[in-house]
Amino acid sequence: MEFLDAVFNRRTTNGPFRPDPVSPEHQQTLIRAAAAAPSQFNSQPWRFVVIEDRDTINTVASISGESMTEVMSSGTFFNRYKKYFRFSQKEMDTLRSGMLFDKLPALLRPFTSRAFTPSGQNLMNKLRVPQTLGEENRKLVAGSPLLLGVMLERGEYRPEELSGSTPCSAWARPWRTSG
């Protein structure tokens, strides 16, 4: 596949994952691709953890669902990402970026202009939207046969300073947790 074909034809889905185990060969390909990502001064300040243990995946899924519920019910999520939400094709065509929410039930469409106001946040909380989306997030993560954790090396985080340089080969080795 040509590079631009891959870039322009990729899609993000939030549907369930296939339950099939991910082969060691595919795991290594994922890690190699992640390790090849560009970084400032080629510092590559990350570590990768392959997680296959079902209990660990379920624990991460619970944390993920609880976190999603919290950021949505506090308004943090919407305040941060509201600039990317599009509620009509015209808006999407004009701005040419963001996420199009064009499949909203007709009953909700008149309220899209108020979705990111304090009263909109209160309504979403009363309707338990954050809990519903948090649970959907938990189920999505829990349904994965494998998680690839990407972690920033704590020593590399220096606010307002340049990152140090570390050779790629030292960082790209995966750590594993398996059951």
Total Cβ atoms within 10 A of residue 177: 14
Between 84-88, 106-110, 133-137, the lowest mean confidence (pLDDT) is in 106-110
Element housing 27 (H / E):
helix 24-35
Please determine, for residue 6, whether its predicted confidence score (pLDDT) is greater than 80: yes
Based on DSSP, count helices (H) and strands (E) in the chain, helices before strands. Answer: 8, 5
pLDDT recorded at residue 88? 87
Mean pLDDT of the chain: 82
Residue 167 CA to residue 41 CA, distance in Å, equals: 11
**Cβ–Cβ < 8 Å for 169, 32:** no
Residue 169 has pLDDT above 60, yes or no: no
Indicate the pTM of the whole model.
0.71
